[in-house]
Every structure is written in structure tokens, then in C-alpha cells.
């Protein structure tokens, strides 16, 4: 599909892509749920545990120092990857969900009052809805939801109208996991900042598919998960602007996040450690650093361009199937193909495609309000990564045609 | 191509999915209950008419996959005319079948249950098959809240 993009060679980096499922070659199209891991990441995890493992920020012994250097080295890699100003702005968390909860419980709880408003959109993942609902219950703040249109884009006039002097925080998904929509987040940040409102971006889906520059976006918080970025699960990142993070109270208390403890009071550690209570996911963080290196060797621009070709091809093929309806047809869209088949439930599609070796997600994708909006109980979702191929799209399309045939 | 799936997707399943039996609202139901599978978003509204302790009529509405629709449809046929106690026993038997605890293939006069036995090889789909049945159990116990398979 692209002369400069050697997908065959890239596939060699992912051992799992050689698996067979029900006797068929694996066609892994569930990348929006989690991505597979390149050998470099797997080797790194093993190497850390075999040669460099101890707890971080604690011991004077050699291994502890080595582990700390690797762990902090990963933080610096991630800083550079998203172009944050300082490593103080890179908080290691378990994943996007924990990052949103951290901002809700630390920033939100300390700065929101009854009657204040939090503005999200109708295409959010449950992880960017429920933490705010919990915060609203705790503070008396009110959750406002900017509506979307039938192609799955935020209705910007409505968003602007909902952005008022009562709005104290905006939290928006950068790229929708159910629809693929890439939101105009730079514009959203500008609009919110014009009213003095900070913006959190849920980058879980966006960051594997495009270059992300938090300074260019000027967002106040940006959250993502390692496991969707070819890294290990159990590690993720919250980026926050230093001034905001500095003013925020700690969220969880424990070791590592303190400078001095007496029974009378404790003095908190500096950034980023103030928000990293307890032993972190050490090897996982180092693995995520390796994943970021790996992706940058390929190039996020090239990944974005290749995946766009793949999505265009899949979309064109899907449109040739009369019974198929694509859910999510935004102009600016990442490599996600959500669809329904007339009279055939996504769960049946998922089981049948699996029989052909094809892994897709079937369900509500943790975005039940999105399903309600489109009037479907669920969708089937093929989500692509840079290691997928046009041939795999053909296998998917052929599988869908077979399902339609057996259901009659 | 889908030969391996024939145990799960039998012709009877396709038939009940295409033409679900007792797929209607029941105005004079003695009990009505909503069932929900949060994993996949399947919803069912189950209507039961109980006379004495005999299940006189069962019907359902909702949207779900072929397995859950066929299971609900077959269930409405199977339990009609049985007492509440018998229905509970059928539910228990059904549960043992789909979880693989009961490996029989011949269920005598409850033969229709065998249609759903294929689901035991697909743990991810057991909840699809059990949604209607859990809803029925709850309806007979008169549990008011939405039933969830989780």
C-alpha cells in the first residue's frame, strides 16, 4: 500500500502475529481494546527482571540504582514523545482510567463547588464519564454533555454554548474508541482557555495513531495507557501542566509521595513523585519507554499515514456490502471501523469472525451513551494498527460476506 | 466454512432468531421484568402470566444476539404449562447444561434444551444464553430491579 512502509518487516517484530486461531492465521483487529507487543518490549521486560530489577527510589545498592535509572529514563522518553516541558509533568499511573480519576479526585475535588459545571461530550468512554459523575456527587457540581451529530462529530456550536462562566473543567476524548472520530481538540482548548477553563484530553485512542504534542495542543492534562501503545498493561501516563499539578493536593497517600512523615503531619514530595504513592509498575514503565522508542523508530507520521490508507481501503470495501452500516463516519477519523449488519447481532458476528481467525470487538465498547445515540445495542468494531495489512482487510470483508450468507 | 460452529448455531437457533416465538408485549402479565447483559448490551423484557402456581404464558421483547434471542424464544415454549417449582428445576437443569456440568445430550421431554447445549463450548457466550432464564427466575421470585448477568 505504501512503498516506504514495510509492513511485512514490521510484522516480524510481533511474535504473536504468527499465531493461528481455529487453524487460521490470526487477523488481529482489536487494537482499540489493546495492541500487541513487539519483541523489543518483551525482551526489555525480561531483561529488566533478569538483570536490573529492584525497587526504585529507595536503595543505595546497585540494582536499585539501575532500576531507578531505567524507570526515570523511561519517564524522560515519554516526556520527549509527547513534547512535555519537564519530566515533572509526567506522572506514571496504571492507565487512562486512573489518570482521569486522579484529576477528578485531586484537581476536581479541591477546586469545584456546588453549582460548578464539568463539560464532556456525548462520545466519551465510560472512564471519562463515571469519574466526573462521582465527583459531581461529592461536590454538588453538575455534568454537562455536548451533543454529537449523526456522523459522530461534536456539534461545536452546542459545545460553545455549554461553555459558560459556570464551567470549571472540560474533559474530552481526543479520538473516540467507538466511532473513530478525531476531535478538534486544539480548537476546544482555545475555546475553553478563552473562558479560563482548563482542559483534560483522554488520549487513550489517539496516541497510538498520530503524533501528539502537548505543548502545541496547549491542553492542561493529557492521559493515555501503555497497553494501547504496544507497551505493557498496568502502566499509563498522566501529563499535567506543572503549575496545575503543583497546586493540586496528592490523591493517594503512601510511600514515595512524601518527603518527611511524623505522626503530627507529613510533608509531600515534589513533582512528579507527589502523585506516585507506593511501588510503581517498574518493569512496565521501562517497557513503555521501549515501546515509545520502537514507535518513534518507525515514525508516528508514517504510522498515521499508513493507517489512514488502511482505513480508507477498509471503508471502501465495507461500503460495497449493502447490509453493512458504518457507525461513525466523521470527516477526521482514525483507523476504527465500527459497523452493524442488518439483522445480525454484533455478538454473532464476533463469534463467527473468530472462527475465521479474525479478532474484533463486539459490544458497546464502554460507550453505552454512544450506542443509545445511534439506536443500536452494540456494534462490531474492527480497529487497525500499523501492523495490519490490506490482505487482512480482505479476509475481514470476506468473513463478513460469509456471515451474511449463513444468516440468510 | 462455519462447520465448527454448527453445534452453537444450529438450524433451530437460526429459526428461532429469525422468527422468535412469543415475541410480544403481554398486556395482562402478572409479572414483568427487565433483564440486561452489561457485557454486550443485550436487553430483554420478560412477561409472565402465572395462574395459581402454573405458568400460563410467557412472552418477551428486546434485542439480542441470535443465541440470546433463540434461548429466550425456546424458553417461552419450554416452560409454559409448568408449575413454578418445575420451572425452577428446568432453570437449574438448563444452567447445568450450558455451563457444561451436565454433559447429556438427551433430555427427554425437555429435548429442546439440547439445542442450547452447544453453548457450553463457548464460555464467552454462556451469558447470552442465560439472560432470559435469569430474568425468568427473577420474575418468579418477584425481584423488582433490573436483572443483570454480571
Pick from B17, B60, B65, B13: which is nearest to B41 by CA? B65
Cα A82–Cα A83–Cα A88 angle in degrees, nearest 5: 95
Domain range holding B51?
3-143
Task: Closest CB to B63: pick one of A348, A377, A406.
Answer: A377
The runs of H, that is alpha helices, within chain B are 11-18, 66-79, 84-98, 126-140
Alpha carbon distance A15, A49 (integer Å): 20
For residue A320, what pLDDT is reported? 97
Average pLDDT over residues B103-132: 85
For residue A266, what pLDDT is reported? 87
Q: Specify whether A221 is located in the same domain as A104.
A: yes
* Res B109 pLDDT > 80: no
Please give, rounded to a whole number of angstroms, the shortest distance from the CA of B9 to a CA of chain A.
9
**8 A C-beta contact, residue A325 and residue A340:** yes
pLDDT in tens, B44-60: 999 999 999 999 999 99
Contact B1 A356 (CB under 8 A): yes
Pick from A338, A311, A382, A331: which is nearest to A153 by CA? A331
Check residue A148 and report its DSSP letter: B
In B, what residues contact A, Cβ < 8 A?
1-2, 4-5, 8-9, 14, 18, 39-43, 63-69, 122, 124-125, 128
Q: Specify whether A275 is located in the same domain as A350.
A: no
Residue B150 lies in a domain: no
A363–chain B Cβ distance below 8 A for any pair: yes
**Among candidate residues A255, A277, A296, the one where a domain is terminated:** A296
Alpha carbon distance A198, A141 (integer Å): 16
Contact A364 B122 (CB under 8 A): no
Contact A363 B42 (CB under 8 A): no
Q: Residue A169 phi/psi, 5° resolution?
A: -160, 140
Q: Which long-range contacts (CB under 8 A, 24 or more apart) does A217-222 make?
A: A217/A185, A217/A186, A217/A189, A218/A186, A218/A189, A218/A190, A218/A193, A219/A185, A219/A189, A220/A244, A221/A99, A221/A103, A221/A107, A222/A82, A222/A174
Task: Closest CB to A362: pick one of B4, B40, B63.
Answer: B40
Residues in chain A: 408
Alpha carbon distance B16, B13 (integer Å): 5
Alpha carbon distance A128, A121 (integer Å): 9
Residues of B whose CB is below 8 A from A348: 9, 65-67
Q: Specify whether A13 is located in the same domain as A83.
A: no
**8 A C-beta contact, residue B45 and residue B31:** no
Alpha carbon distance B64, B17 (integer Å): 9
Q: Specify whether A218 is located in the same domain as A281.
A: yes
In total, how many domains does chain A have?
A: 2
Please give, rounded to a whole number of angstroms, the shortest distance from the CA of B35 to a CA of chain A.
14
Q: Specify whether A111 is located in the same domain as A247.
A: yes
Task: Closest CB to B41: pick one of A351, A371, A408.
Answer: A371
Check residue A272 and report its DSSP letter: T
Name, in order, each residue with C-beta under 8 angstroms of A117's C-beta and a sequence gap of 6 or more: A141, A142, A143, A144, A162, A164, A166, A167, A168
Task: Closest CB to B41: pick one of A344, A363, A407.
Answer: A363
For residue A285, what pLDDT is reported? 98
Q: How many CB atoms lie within 10 A of CB B4?
A: 11
Alpha carbon distance A73, A287 (integer Å): 11
Residue B149 lies in a domain: no
CATH of the domain at A15: 3.90.1150.10
A352–chain B Cβ distance below 8 A for any pair: yes
Q: Which three cell numbers stand for residue A241?
A: 501542566
B150: confidence class by pLDDT, cuts 50, 70, 90:
low
Alpha carbon distance B46, B138 (integer Å): 10
Q: Which three cell numbers stand for residue B20?
A: 422468535
What are the pLDDT tens digits along chain A (408 aa)?
Answer: 555 799 999 999 999 999 999 999 999 999 999 999 999 999 999 999 999 999 998 778 999 999 999 999 999 999 999 999 999 999 999 999 999 999 999 999 999 999 999 999 999 999 999 999 999 999 999 999 999 999 999 999 999 999 999 999 999 999 999 999 999 999 999 999 999 999 999 999 999 999 999 999 999 999 999 999 999 999 999 999 999 999 999 999 988 888 888 888 888 999 999 999 999 999 999 999 999 999 999 999 999 999 999 999 999 999 999 999 999 999 999 999 999 998 899 999 999 999 999 999 998 888 889 988 998 888 999 999 999 999 999 999 999 999 999 987
Q: Which of A341, A348, A349 to mutate to test the interface with B (most CBs of B within 10 A)?
A: A348
Please give, rounded to a whole number of angstroms, the shortest distance from the CA of B13 to a CA of chain A.
10
Q: Specify whether A145 is located in the same domain as A262.
A: yes
Contact B4 A22 (CB under 8 A): yes
For residue B144, what pLDDT is reported? 47
Q: Specify whether A66 is located in the same domain as A175.
A: yes
**Among candidate residues A256, A271, A296, the one where a domain is terminated:** A296
* Res B146 pLDDT > 80: no
Q: Specify whether A160 is located in the same domain as A234.
A: yes
For residue B92, what pLDDT is reported? 92
Q: What count of Cα atoms within 13 Å lies in the side-chain half-sphere of residue A284?
A: 18
Site of grid cell 491542553? A219
For residue A197, what pLDDT is reported? 98
pLDDT in tens, A269-312: 999 999 999 999 999 999 999 999 999 999 999 999 999 999 99
Task: Closest CB to B4: pick one of A347, A355, A407.
Answer: A355
**8 A C-beta contact, residue A180 and residue A331:** no
Residue B118 lies in a domain: yes
Smallest CA–CA distance from B16 into chain A, residue: A407
* CA max distance for chain A: 73
Smallest CA–CA distance from B67 into chain A, residue: A348
Residues of B whose CB is below 8 A from A377: 40-43, 63-64
Contact B5 A351 (CB under 8 A): yes
Q: Specify whether A210 is located in the same domain as A234.
A: yes
Task: Closest CB to B40: pick one of A22, A347, A402.
Answer: A347
Q: Which of A373, A377, A407, A408 to mutate to test the interface with B (most CBs of B within 10 A)?
A: A377
Q: Specify whether A226 is located in the same domain as A125.
A: yes
Q: Which three cell numbers stand for residue B72?
A: 429466550
Q: Specify whether A259 is located in the same domain as A195.
A: yes
**Among candidate residues A296, A312, A340, the one where a domain is terminated:** A296
Reported as type and span, the H/E element at residue A11 is: helix A7-12
Name, in order, each residue with C-beta under 8 angstroms of B145's C-beta and a sequence gap of 6 or more: none
Residue B113 lies in a domain: yes
Q: Specify whether A380 is located in the same domain as A238.
A: no
Give me the catalytic one of A136, A219, A230, A366.
A366
Residue A36 lies in a domain: no
**8 A C-beta contact, residue B72 and residue B60:** yes
* CA-CA-CA-CA dihedral for B72, B73, B79, B81, to nearest 10: 140
3-state helix, strand, coil split of chain B in percent (to 5) is 50, 20, 30
For residue A58, what pLDDT is reported? 79
Q: What is the C-alpha R_g of chain A?
A: 22
In total, how many domains does chain B have?
A: 1
CATH of the domain at B118: 3.90.1010.10
Residue A35 lies in a domain: no
* CA-CA-CA-CA dihedral for A20, A24, A26, A27, to nearest 10: 180
Residues of B whose CB is below 8 A from A408: 14, 18
A364–chain B Cβ distance below 8 A for any pair: yes
Contact B41 A362 (CB under 8 A): no
Contact A402 B43 (CB under 8 A): no
CATH of the domain at A95: 3.40.640.10
Domain range holding A48?
42-296
Q: What is the DSSP annotation of A79-110?
A: HHHHT-S-GGGEEEESSHHHHHHHIIIIIIHH
Residue B22 lies in a domain: yes
What is the side-by-side order of every strand in the sheet holding A324-326? A324-326, A336-341, A379-383, A361-363
- Indicate if A136 belongs to the active site: no
Residue B148 lies in a domain: no
For residue A408, what pLDDT is reported? 78
ipTM over 0.85 threshold: no
Q: What is the DSSP annotation of B76-98?
A: HHHHTT-BHHHHHHHHHHHHHHH
Distance from the Cα of residue A313 to its chain's centroid: 24
Amino acid at each position: 500500500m505504501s512503498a516506504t512502509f514495510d509492513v511485512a518487516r514490521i510484522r516480524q517484530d510481533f511474535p504473536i502475529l504468527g499465531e493461528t486461531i481455529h487453524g487460521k492465521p490470526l487477523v488481529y483487529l482489536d487494537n482499540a481494546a489493546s495492541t500487541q507487543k513487539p519483541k523489543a518490549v518483551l525482551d526489555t521486560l525480561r531483561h529488566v527482571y533478569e538483570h536490573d530489577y529492584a525497587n526504585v527510589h529507595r536503595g543505595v545498592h546497585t540494582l536499585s540504582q539501575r532500576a531507578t535509572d531505567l524507570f526515570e529514563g523511561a519517564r524522560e522518553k515519554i516526556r520527549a514523545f509527547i513534547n512535555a516541558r519537564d519530566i515533572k509533568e509526567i506522572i506514571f499511573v496504571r492507565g487512562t482510567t486512573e489518570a482521569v480519576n486522579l484529576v477528578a479526585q485531586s484537581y476536581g475535588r479541591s477546586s469545584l463547588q456546588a453549582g460548578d459545571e464539568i463539560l464532556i461530550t456525548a462520545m466519551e468512554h465510560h472512564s471519562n464519564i463515571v469519574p466526573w459523575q462521582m465527583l459531581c456527587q461529592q461536590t454538588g457540581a453538575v455534568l454537562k454533555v455536548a451533543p454529537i451529530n449523526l456522523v459522530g462529530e461534536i456539534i461545536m456550536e452546542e459545545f460553545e454554548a455549554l461553555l459558560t462562566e459556570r464551567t470549571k473543567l472540560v474533559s474530552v476524548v481526543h479520538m473516540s474508541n467507538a466511532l473513530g472520530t478525531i476531535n478538534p481538540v486544539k480548537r476546544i482548548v482555545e475555546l475553553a482557555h478563552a473562558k479560563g477553563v482548563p482542559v483534560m484530553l483522554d488520549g487513550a485512542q489517539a496516541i497510538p495513531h498520530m503524533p501528539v504534542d502537548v505543548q502545541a495542543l496547549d491542553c492542561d492534562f493529557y492521559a493515555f495507557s501503555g497497553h494501547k501503545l504496544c507497551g505493557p498493561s498496568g502502566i499509563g501516563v498522566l501529563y499535567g501542566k506543572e503549575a496545575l499539578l503543583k497546586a493540586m493536593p496528592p490523591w493517594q497517600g503512601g510511600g514515595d509521595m512524601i518527603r518527611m512523615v511524623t505522626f503530627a503531619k507529613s510533608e509531600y514530595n515534589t513533582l512528579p513523585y507527589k502523585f506516585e504513592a507506593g511501588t510503581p509498575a517498574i518493569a512496565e514503565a521501562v517497557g513503555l519507554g521501549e515501546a515509545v522508542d520502537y514507535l518513534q523508530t518507525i515514525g508516528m507520521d508514517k504510522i498515521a499515514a499508513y493507517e489512514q490508507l488502511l482505513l480508507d481501503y477498509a471503508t471502501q470495501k465495507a461500503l460495497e456490502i449493502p447490509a453493512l452500516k458504518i457507525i461513525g463516519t466523521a470527516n477526521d477519523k482514525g483507523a476504527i471501523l465500527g459497523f452493524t449488519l442488518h439483522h445480525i447481532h454484533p455478538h454473532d458476528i464476533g463469534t463467527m469472525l473468530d472462527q475465521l481467525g479474525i479478532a474484533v470487538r463486539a459490544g458497546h465498547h464502554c460507550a453505552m451513551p454512544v450506542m443509545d445515540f445511534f439506536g443500536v445495542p452494540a456494534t462490531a468494531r474492527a480497529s487497525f494498527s500499523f501492523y495490519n495489512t490490506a490482505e487482512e482487510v480482505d479476509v475481514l470483508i470476506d468473513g463478513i460476506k460469509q456471515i451474511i450468507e449463513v444468516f440468510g | 466454512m462455519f462447520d465448527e460452529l454448527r453445534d452453537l448455531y444450529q438450524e433451530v437457533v437460526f429459526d428461532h432468531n429469525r422468527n422468535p416465538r412469543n415475541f410480544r408485549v403481554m398486556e395482562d402479565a402478572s409479572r414483568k421484568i427487565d433483564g440486561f447483559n452489561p457485557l454486550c448490551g443485550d436487553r430483554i423484557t420478560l412477561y409472565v402470566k402465572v395462574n395459581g402456581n402454573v405458568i400460563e404464558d410467557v412472552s418477551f421483547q428486546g434485542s439480542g444476539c441470535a443465541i440470546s434471542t433463540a434461548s429466550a424464544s425456546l424458553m417461552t415454549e419450554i416452560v409454559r404449562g409448568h408449575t413454578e417449582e418445575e420451572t425452577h428445576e428446568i432453570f437449574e437443569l438448563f444452567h447445568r447444561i450450558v455451563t457444561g456440568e451436565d454433559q447429556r445430550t438427551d433430555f427427554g421431554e425437555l429435548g429442546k434444551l439440547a439445542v442450547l447445549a452447544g453453548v457450553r463450548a463457548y464460555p464467552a457466550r454462556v451469558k447470552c444464553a442465560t439472560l432470559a432464564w435469569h430474568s425468568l427466575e427473577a420474575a418468579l421470585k418477584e425481584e423488582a430491579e433490573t436483572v443483570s448477568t454480571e
